[in-house]
Amino acid sequence: MPIDDITQKVSERYAKAASTGEEMCCPTSYDMGHLKTFIPEAVLKISYGCGTPAGLKTVQAGETVLDIGSGGGIDCFEASRLVGPTGCVIGIDMTDTMLEIARKNAAVVATNLGYPASNVEFRKGLADAMPIDDGTIDLIISNCVINLAPDKRKVFQEMYRIAKPGGRFTISDIVSDQTVPQYLVHDAQKWGDCLSGALTLTDYMNGMTAAGFLGIHLVKSSPWRIIDGIHFFSVTLTGYKLPPTPTTSSVQYATLRGPFSQVVVEGGAPYRRGIPQPITSDETLLLSAPPFAEHFLLTTNPVALDRDDPRWTAVFPADAPCTWQGQYALLAGPFVEATDDDHHVYRRGEPLEICSKTVTVLESAGYQPHFVILNRAGDRVSGEAVTCSPNGGCC
C-alpha cells in the first residue's frame, strides 16, 4: 500500500472517530477524574492513546514541549498545566477535525487553569516533516501515534532534529514481539487499529539510536492484543539528545555495580561488574544519565568492587528446580546487551525464553525496570520441574 494512501486512510479514520465517538485502538490509563477538572468533555471523549507520557513526571515547569499527533489536545493540555504559564506547548496533527476541536478548547483550558492566555499552539503537519525549527524542543511526547507513521525512520530523525541539545523524549506506542507479516502490513483497517504499523521492540529502539538518541530505556509497559500469535504491547520509552561534551571532567573511570554481571552500552563499550575501566568524556556524559547512573560508580581513580562491598549488587537464581511456563523476556534498555548471573545473554528487544527461576530474578527490583515479560503459552502449562544448569540444562 503506498505511503500516501496509508496516511490518508489513517487521517480519515481518526476524523470519523472524532465525529462519531468511536472507541479507537489502544489501552489508556488516563486519570479522567483529574483531567475533567480543567479539560472539556469534548476533548476527553475523543482521546486515544496507549499511555500517559505527559503525566509521568516527565514535564518540567517552563519547558517547551512538543506533542506528535496531538489529536483533540488531551496530552497538550495536561502538559500545559505542568509547564505552567511560563512554558510553551506545541501540538502537531494531520487531521483537520482534530485540530479544530483542539484549537476551539485551548482558551477554555487556559481559563480553567487561571492563565492569562493559552500557552498551547496547534499546528497542522506530519510526524515525518514537522513544522518546527531545529533544536527548539526540551521534551517530545507522543501517545500511540508514531506507530501510525509509514516511515518511522524519518520520524525519529525529525525528533532528533527538533530536540534541543540536552533535550529528551517520552513516548508511548504499540510494538510487537516479532515482525508484522505482509498480510497485516497491507490491511488498511489494522493500520488504524495500531497493528499493521507496529515495529518490533528491537527495530523501534534501534531506530531511535540510529537517529542519534542515547540512553533509551523503558518507563512502563502493558500487554494489548495477540493476533495470529504476534504479541502487541504498549511501551513508554524515554531517551536523550545528549548535550555537547564538557571540556573537562574529573571522572576518569567507570565500574559496573550490577545487578547484571556484564553489559554493553549504546556505542558498543562493554563493562564487567566490579572491574573499573577508563572512560572518555562522552562515555562519562552517557553513564551519568538517569537510566545508567544507578548501575555505575564513576570515579577519578580506578575503584574495584567485590561481593563484600555494599555498592556491588547481584540477584542470584534460587538453587532449586524450575518449570517452563511460556514466559519470554525482552530487554528494553538502557543497555543493548546484558548478562545475568545464570549466564543468560539478553539483547535489546529480542525475546528470550526463560524459566520460572529467571522470571523471579527479572521481577526483582534491580532487573524489573529493564524488561518486558510476555507469555506465549496458548494453554495452561503443566510441565514437570527440571534442574537448571549453566552447562546445558533447562536454561
CATH classification at residue 394: 3.40.5
Of 314, 347, 373, the domain-final residue: 314
For the chain, count helices (H), then strands (E): 12, 17
Identify whether residues 185 and 319 lie together within a single domain. no
Question: Cell for 199?
Answer: 515495529
Distance CA 153, CA 149 (A): 9
Residues 202 and 223 in one domain: yes
Which pLDDT value is given to residue 369? 96
Determine the pLDDT at residue 28: 61
Burial (0-12, 13-18, 19+ Cβ within 10 Å), 229: exposed
pLDDT digits (tens, 9 = 90+) for 180-191: 888 888 776 665
Residues 233 and 115 in one domain: yes
pLDDT on residue 378: 74
Please tell me whether residue 271 adopts helix, strand or coil conformation: strand
In a shared domain, residues 371 and 319: yes
The total number of structural domains that make up the chain: 3
- In which domain, by residue range, is 288 found? 247-314
pLDDT, residue 138, reads: 98
Phi/psi region, residue 201 (left: phi>0; alpha: psi -120 to 50; beta: rest), is alpha
Which residues of the chain fall short of a pLDDT of 50?
A: 1, 6, 9, 11, 13-18, 20, 390-393
Q: HSE-up of 295 (CA within 13 Å, CB side)?
A: 30
Q: What is the mean pLDDT of the chain?
A: 89
